[in-house]
Amino acid sequence: MSPALVSSAGEPVSSNGKAGPRPTSILHRTPWIPPIATRAEGSYIELESGQRLFDAIGGAAVACIGMGHPVVTKALKEQIDRVSYVYNMQLSNQPAEELATLLTESSNGAFELCGFASGGSEAMEGVIKLARQYFHETGQLQRTNFIARQLSFHGNTVATLSLAYHPTRRTPYAAILDSDHFHHVSPAYAKRFQRPEESEEDYVERLRAELEAKFIELGPDTVIGFVAETVVGATTGVGPAPKGYFKAMKSVCEKYGALFILDEVMSGMGRMGTMHAWESFGDGVAPDLQAVAKGLGGGYASIGAVLMSKRIVAGLRDASGLWKHGHTYQANPLACAASLAVQKVIRDENLLENCRIQGAYLEKLLKARLQGPNSLSAPFTFDIRGGGGFWGIEFDFDGPEAATLDFKGQQFAMLVQAHALEHGLVIMGMTGGANLQGTKGDVILLAPAYNVTAQEVEMIAEMFGDSVDAVLKAHQV
Ligand SMILES: *Cc1c(COP(=O)(O)O)cnc(C)c1O
């Protein structure tokens, strides 16, 4: 049987209740054929089989207000009756204008203008090109280099894969990625890479010095910018940087006239409990350019955005005065109407406060359940980290207690993800983020909707804890 015809647990898929895999004409992204979701309300998803799931990760940290919110549904229905599509080389549209104003006006002056894309990778492509356009138009044609970080993720297009460094995602394409213009420095991942003799300050200074050395190696006036995820998502699994890190990295950019660029596709738009992750997890340091996407549309539409600081806007205003970049579905009226409604719901229902409160409660419950004195998983729970509505639980099997376990070549995080899904909880397993080779690391990501309730948080902690315990018990030798 081809691997595409078995479930994550190695069994034939029977999402339609019949034995054996269901037929499909989609080349799926998973080694198994995923079940079909037929209905969803809030964070509950119903499958074709009738099984009900609770989504504790919002898909991929996307569905930030749950599904079927009446305010968003109404906005989408009204917009489809008004204007469903215009091409933005000819016409603009009202929801796009209003959304852009909301995004810039809620940034405390950090951003002056905004441009739209249809997702995170497109937004990051837009950032890469706009950063180059800025120097092209301000007469610094020699600036052609980007510096990003190892163990990062910026998207799945060729340029964003080149920019980022996610060992396994780039492997098949490494030979065609651009290594001339995209360079990498160390991740900011204290729990794994801070040396025992180093203080947090020392560690930050080492990373700052490494970035400066990379600038000098490339030629300081050839660097376009330094790019980082404010809180690392899909590689190390919810990795906030040490205190002072972003301030230090921005100081290097400023010293040499380069741009300081943040990718908040996953961590932004409220996910960390603040509108922008840099407000709470980035030393309050605003970037010159920023990409957002996942929580921007909350799953109701494919949308991303590029947020531009005064510096960028001033540079362009004195030259072409326009964004030399576009896509057919950019600023799509339906996507913008959906996103605008999502953002109004977050604001009007005061959801960021709820996200912070319930996030802190989730952290407390997870720590008690996974690291408590009688907890089966305590010896293997390496780290529980995050903030707001974004939490990573990292496991480690380097200790002597692991001698009694045998996962038979399977990855623990993926076993836990599969077990949880089978028992009604959607979570995200992530592997390979614990070393630079991408060969070690088991993290589970949790990203409940910002309107999650205390009872739902209790359910998440309990169901997740049960899955961790069940997988550990099933693999004891
Ligand atoms: C998901 C993600 C992307 C890519 O977004 P897509 O919408 O999947 O194209 C880029 N950067 C980060 C940090 C992400 O988490």
Separation of 225 CA from ligand 1 center, angstroms?
A: 19
* Encoded tokens for 369: 């359940």
Two tokens, residue 209? 């010095």
Full strand arrangement of the beta sheet holding 145-149: 113-117, 304-308, 289-292, 259-264, 223-229, 145-149, 182-185
What pLDDT does 351 receive?
98
Distance separating alpha carbons of residues 180 and 189, to the nearest angstrom:
26
- pLDDT at position 20 is 65
Contact yes or no for 153/235 (Cβ under 8 A): yes
Q: Report pLDDT for 187.
A: 97
Which ligand 1 atom is at minimum distance from the Cα of 304? Answer: 7
Quote the pTM value: 0.95
| Ranges in the chain, pLDDT < 70 | 1-20
Q: Is the CB of 163 under 6 A from ligand 1?
A: no
Please indicate whether residue 103, judged by its CB atom, sits closer than 6 Å to ligand 1. Answer: no
**Per-residue pLDDT at 228:** 98
Q: Spell out the domains of the chain, with CATH numbers in brackets.
A: 3-65+351-474 (3.90.1150.10), 70-348 (3.40.640.10)
> Are the C-beta atoms of 395 and 375 separated by less than 8 Å?
no
State in Å: Cα 271 to ligand 1 middle. 14
- At residue 2, the pLDDT reads 39
Residues composing the chain: 477
pLDDT given at position 98: 98
Our mutation pick for probing the ligand 1 site, out of 154, 289, 303, counting the most ligand atoms within 8 A of Cβ, is 154
Taking the CA atoms of 66, 70, 72 and 76 in sequence, report the sign of the dihedral they define. positive
Q: What is the pLDDT of residue 19?
A: 53
Determine whether the shortest distance from the Cβ of 115 to ligand 1 is under 6 A. no
Closest by alpha carbon to 281, among 291, 289, 271, 290? 271
Position 16 scores a pLDDT of 42
* Residues sharing a CB contact under 8 Å with residue 12, sequence separation 6 or more, in sequence order: 1, 5, 6, 19, 20, 21
Site to probe by mutation for ligand 1, drawn from 236, 266, 306, 428 as the one with most ligand atoms within 8 Å of Cβ, is 266
* pLDDT at position 21: 79
In angstroms, the CA 212 to CA 254 distance is 11
> Would you state the pLDDT for residue 168?
86
